Structure 1
Amino acid sequence: MKYLFLALAIILEVTGSGFLKASEGFTKLVPTIAMAVAFLGCFYFLSLALKNIPLSTAYAIWAGAGIILTALISVLVFKQPIDMPAVIGILLIVSGVVVMNLCSKTAAH
């Protein structure tokens, strides 16, 4: 259940970020409200996940997955280009999350 809560937090964070972009600086009401609801839900589910997942592990997964998914939304939905240095940077972040979860004693499961 803890990883389901974390997955919901990630999905809602990415959704909220997409609506944040769509709100155009909070000038559009519906995307602004959707963004606020998504972020509130995100932090609610993240708080539930943190009851059973160490903060460092949960945040690393949350941030790493959020970066990847947000970059995909940026490219696919908002048609914003991404260059090779950005892709390499994202891969380095993901690699760090994988190393942390597979090798670190900090990431107790």
Structure 2
Amino acid sequence: SFRRNQLVKMVNYPKKKNTFCKGCSSHQSHAIVWQKKAGKASTVAQGKRRYDRKQAGYGGQTKPIFHKKVKTTKKVVLKLKCAKCGQSHQHVLKRCKHFELGGQKKE
């Protein structure tokens, strides 16, 4: 189908973009950063402490582990930082299998 073929395309995005900044209330140059991995999970968070306490001792796995994953792609979230005031905001792109930041342009 048409939509399925549309998702397979490689996305090449520039490292800098001129867009609106709320801090400056005008269009400014923004540096774009793309973070692939999530941050390290905290071991002192209440949910993690509760989970570790429940898991301790005999009895195996106490919480359900989700295995029925359906999505094959993730939405790309970009972090835009203003060159003038330094304020940053996020911008979500559509789903894509391959994403590249600041790659070579096709001619």
TM-score bracket, shorter-length normalisation? under 0.3
TM value normalised by structure 2: 0.19
- Pair member with larger Rg: 2
Structure having the higher helix fraction is 1
